Chain A
Amino acid sequence: NAGVTQTPKFQVLKTGQSMTLQCAQDMNHNSMYWYRQDPGMGLRLIYYSASEGTTDKGEVPNGYNVSRLNKREFSLRLESAAPSQTSVYFCASSAAYSYEQYFGPGTRLTVT
Protein backbone atom coordinates (compact mmCIF):
# COMPACT_ATOMS: atom_id res chain seq x y z
CA ASN A 1 0.00 0.00 0.00
CA ALA A 2 1.83 3.12 -1.24
CA GLY A 3 -0.40 5.73 0.44
CA VAL A 4 0.35 9.17 -1.03
CA THR A 5 3.00 9.37 -3.74
CA GLN A 6 4.56 12.49 -5.23
CA THR A 7 6.72 13.06 -8.29
CA PRO A 8 9.32 14.33 -8.79
CA LYS A 9 11.26 14.19 -5.50
CA PHE A 10 13.61 16.99 -6.52
CA GLN A 11 13.43 19.69 -9.20
CA VAL A 12 15.47 22.73 -10.17
CA LEU A 13 13.84 25.37 -12.37
CA LYS A 14 14.95 28.65 -13.84
CA THR A 15 12.84 31.73 -13.23
CA GLY A 16 9.95 31.82 -15.69
CA GLN A 17 9.88 28.08 -16.41
CA SER A 18 6.74 26.06 -15.79
CA MET A 19 6.22 22.65 -14.29
CA THR A 20 3.58 20.37 -12.81
CA LEU A 21 3.94 18.50 -9.53
CA GLN A 22 2.08 15.22 -9.48
CA CYS A 23 0.30 13.59 -6.53
CA ALA A 24 -1.64 10.34 -6.32
CA GLN A 25 -3.25 8.44 -3.45
CA ASP A 26 -4.44 4.85 -3.34
CA MET A 27 -6.52 5.08 -0.16
CA ASN A 28 -9.80 6.00 -1.92
CA HIS A 29 -9.78 9.35 -0.11
CA ASN A 30 -12.19 12.07 -1.15
CA SER A 31 -10.15 15.12 -0.15
CA MET A 32 -6.68 16.14 -1.31
CA TYR A 33 -4.43 19.06 -0.41
CA TRP A 34 -1.28 20.87 -1.46
CA TYR A 35 0.96 22.53 1.14
CA ARG A 36 4.26 24.32 1.01
CA GLN A 37 6.80 24.20 3.82
CA ASP A 38 9.36 26.92 4.35
CA PRO A 39 11.89 27.15 7.22
CA GLY A 40 10.25 28.48 10.37
CA MET A 41 6.85 28.83 8.66
CA GLY A 42 5.29 25.45 9.26
CA LEU A 43 2.96 24.09 6.58
CA ARG A 44 0.83 26.51 4.60
CA LEU A 45 -2.10 25.42 2.46
CA ILE A 46 -1.94 26.34 -1.22
CA TYR A 47 -5.08 24.67 -2.62
CA TYR A 48 -7.34 21.83 -1.66
CA SER A 49 -10.00 19.65 -3.24
CA ALA A 50 -12.77 18.52 -0.92
CA SER A 51 -14.08 16.08 -3.51
CA GLU A 52 -13.58 15.10 -7.12
CA GLY A 53 -14.50 18.01 -9.36
CA THR A 54 -14.02 20.76 -6.79
CA THR A 55 -11.02 22.89 -5.83
CA ASP A 56 -10.62 25.80 -3.41
CA LYS A 57 -7.91 28.28 -2.57
CA GLY A 58 -5.96 27.99 0.63
CA GLU A 59 -3.76 30.50 2.43
CA VAL A 60 -1.13 31.04 -0.30
CA PRO A 61 -2.63 30.30 -3.76
CA ASN A 62 -0.99 33.07 -5.82
CA GLY A 63 1.25 31.76 -8.61
CA TYR A 64 -0.25 28.26 -8.56
CA ASN A 65 -3.01 26.34 -10.30
CA VAL A 66 -4.40 22.89 -9.52
CA SER A 67 -6.26 20.13 -11.28
CA ARG A 68 -8.20 17.32 -9.63
CA LEU A 69 -7.77 14.91 -12.50
CA ASN A 70 -9.82 12.12 -10.90
CA LYS A 71 -10.40 10.80 -7.39
CA ARG A 72 -6.81 9.53 -7.11
CA GLU A 73 -4.81 12.39 -8.61
CA PHE A 74 -4.33 16.06 -7.73
CA SER A 75 -1.70 18.08 -9.57
CA LEU A 76 -0.12 21.45 -8.80
CA ARG A 77 1.12 23.67 -11.62
CA LEU A 78 3.56 26.57 -11.55
CA GLU A 79 3.01 28.53 -14.76
CA SER A 80 5.96 30.90 -14.39
CA ALA A 81 8.24 29.92 -11.54
CA ALA A 82 9.73 32.58 -9.27
CA PRO A 83 12.53 32.29 -6.69
CA SER A 84 9.91 32.90 -3.94
CA GLN A 85 8.43 29.54 -4.88
CA THR A 86 11.55 27.71 -3.76
CA SER A 87 10.14 25.40 -1.10
CA VAL A 88 9.23 21.86 -0.18
CA TYR A 89 5.80 20.90 -1.47
CA PHE A 90 3.65 18.29 0.23
CA CYS A 91 0.50 16.62 -0.98
CA ALA A 92 -1.94 15.13 1.52
CA SER A 93 -5.26 13.31 1.46
CA SER A 94 -8.09 12.51 3.84
CA ALA A 95 -11.19 10.36 3.82
CA ALA A 96 -14.66 11.89 3.67
CA TYR A 97 -15.78 13.17 7.08
CA SER A 98 -12.32 12.49 8.52
CA TYR A 99 -10.03 15.02 10.14
CA GLU A 100 -6.90 12.92 9.62
CA GLN A 101 -4.71 13.94 6.73
CA TYR A 102 -1.95 11.68 5.38
CA PHE A 103 1.07 13.19 3.69
CA GLY A 104 3.32 12.22 0.80
CA PRO A 105 7.13 12.37 0.96
CA GLY A 106 7.39 15.84 -0.61
CA THR A 107 8.91 17.52 -3.66
CA ARG A 108 11.93 19.74 -3.08
CA LEU A 109 11.81 22.59 -5.59
CA THR A 110 14.51 25.18 -6.19
CA VAL A 111 13.92 28.13 -8.51
CA THR A 112 17.06 30.01 -9.57
Chain B
Amino acid sequence: GQQLNQSPQSMFIQEGEDVSMNCTSSSIFNTWLWYKQDPGEGPVLLIALYKAGELTSNGRLTAQFGITRKDSFLNISASIPSDVGIYFCAGQPNQAGTALIFGKGTTLSVSS
Protein backbone atom coordinates (compact mmCIF):
# COMPACT_ATOMS: atom_id res chain seq x y z
CA GLY B 1 0.00 0.00 0.00
CA GLN B 2 0.92 3.66 -0.11
CA GLN B 3 3.34 4.89 2.53
CA LEU B 4 4.54 8.23 3.76
CA ASN B 5 8.10 8.71 4.94
CA GLN B 6 8.33 11.42 7.57
CA SER B 7 11.63 12.81 8.82
CA PRO B 8 13.27 13.39 11.11
CA GLN B 9 11.84 10.89 13.58
CA SER B 10 12.70 13.18 16.50
CA MET B 11 14.25 16.58 17.13
CA PHE B 12 15.74 18.19 20.21
CA ILE B 13 16.10 21.97 19.92
CA GLN B 14 16.60 25.09 22.00
CA GLU B 15 13.81 27.59 22.49
CA GLY B 16 13.96 30.23 19.77
CA GLU B 17 15.36 27.94 17.07
CA ASP B 18 13.60 27.28 13.78
CA VAL B 19 12.43 23.75 12.96
CA SER B 20 11.94 21.99 9.64
CA MET B 21 10.42 18.59 8.95
CA ASN B 22 9.22 16.88 5.80
CA CYS B 23 7.15 14.09 4.40
CA THR B 24 7.61 12.19 1.14
CA SER B 25 5.58 9.60 -0.69
CA SER B 26 6.16 7.25 -3.60
CA SER B 27 2.93 8.32 -5.28
CA ILE B 28 1.06 11.53 -5.99
CA PHE B 29 -1.21 13.03 -3.36
CA ASN B 30 -4.05 15.48 -3.93
CA THR B 31 -3.93 16.95 -0.44
CA TRP B 32 -1.43 17.29 2.37
CA LEU B 33 -2.36 17.92 5.98
CA TRP B 34 -0.25 18.61 9.03
CA TYR B 35 -1.41 17.68 12.54
CA LYS B 36 0.00 18.19 16.02
CA GLN B 37 -0.61 15.82 18.90
CA ASP B 38 -0.07 16.92 22.49
CA PRO B 39 0.61 14.19 25.08
CA GLY B 40 -2.58 12.34 25.98
CA GLU B 41 -4.67 14.14 23.37
CA GLY B 42 -5.95 13.54 19.87
CA PRO B 43 -4.28 15.06 16.80
CA VAL B 44 -5.26 18.63 15.99
CA LEU B 45 -5.25 19.95 12.44
CA LEU B 46 -2.67 22.70 11.89
CA ILE B 47 -2.55 23.33 8.15
CA ALA B 48 -4.23 21.89 5.05
CA LEU B 49 -2.71 22.19 1.56
CA TYR B 50 -4.65 21.59 -1.64
CA LYS B 51 -2.53 22.69 -4.61
CA ALA B 52 0.96 21.81 -5.81
CA GLY B 53 3.34 24.63 -4.91
CA GLU B 54 0.96 26.09 -2.32
CA LEU B 55 2.60 27.80 0.67
CA THR B 56 0.36 28.36 3.70
CA SER B 57 1.05 29.92 7.09
CA ASN B 58 -0.65 29.59 10.45
CA GLY B 59 1.10 31.91 12.92
CA ARG B 60 4.69 30.71 13.29
CA LEU B 61 3.97 27.61 11.20
CA THR B 62 4.48 27.47 7.45
CA ALA B 63 3.79 24.45 5.26
CA GLN B 64 4.34 23.82 1.58
CA PHE B 65 2.82 21.39 -0.92
CA GLY B 66 5.68 20.14 -3.07
CA ILE B 67 5.58 20.82 -6.79
CA THR B 68 5.95 17.12 -7.62
CA ARG B 69 2.90 16.44 -5.37
CA LYS B 70 4.95 13.74 -3.67
CA ASP B 71 6.21 15.76 -0.72
CA SER B 72 5.37 18.42 1.84
CA PHE B 73 7.33 20.48 4.35
CA LEU B 74 6.48 22.07 7.70
CA ASN B 75 8.55 24.83 9.25
CA ILE B 76 8.17 26.27 12.74
CA SER B 77 9.88 29.57 13.40
CA ALA B 78 11.15 30.80 16.77
CA SER B 79 10.11 27.67 18.69
CA ILE B 80 8.62 27.95 22.17
CA PRO B 81 8.10 25.29 24.87
CA SER B 82 4.44 24.73 23.96
CA ASP B 83 5.53 23.55 20.49
CA VAL B 84 6.50 20.25 22.14
CA GLY B 85 4.54 17.31 20.77
CA ILE B 86 4.31 14.92 17.85
CA TYR B 87 3.78 16.36 14.37
CA PHE B 88 2.15 14.16 11.77
CA CYS B 89 1.86 14.64 8.06
CA ALA B 90 -1.10 13.07 6.32
CA GLY B 91 -1.94 12.74 2.67
CA GLN B 92 -5.06 11.95 0.77
CA PRO B 93 -4.55 10.29 -2.61
CA ASN B 94 -8.20 9.82 -3.58
CA GLN B 95 -11.54 11.54 -3.31
CA ALA B 96 -12.59 13.46 -0.26
CA GLY B 97 -14.18 11.50 2.56
CA THR B 98 -11.87 8.53 2.19
CA ALA B 99 -8.97 7.56 4.34
CA LEU B 100 -5.94 9.67 5.14
CA ILE B 101 -2.53 8.05 5.10
CA PHE B 102 -0.39 9.19 8.02
CA GLY B 103 3.35 9.48 8.46
CA LYS B 104 4.86 8.00 11.61
CA GLY B 105 5.40 11.41 13.18
CA THR B 106 8.19 13.73 14.24
CA THR B 107 8.59 14.12 18.00
CA LEU B 108 9.70 17.63 18.89
CA SER B 109 11.35 18.50 22.19
CA VAL B 110 12.13 22.11 23.07
CA SER B 111 14.42 23.09 25.92
CA SER B 112 14.28 26.55 27.43
Using a CB–CB cutoff of 8 Å, the interface residues on chain A facing chain B are 4, 30-31, 33, 35, 40-45, 48, 50-51, 58-59, 90, 92, 94, 96-106
Contacts and interface: CB of A to CB of B under 8 A. Distances in A.
| Of listed B31, B33, B45, B100, residue having the most chain A CB within 10 A | B100
Contact of B42 (A30, A48, A51, A106): A106
Interface of B: 1, 6, 30-31, 33, 35, 40-45, 48, 50, 88, 90, 92, 96-100, 102-105
Nearest to B103: A42
B43 A90 contact: yes
A23 B48 CA distance: 24
Contacts of A92: 42
Contact of B98 (A41, A48, A100): A48
Contacts of A44: 102
A99 B96 contact: yes
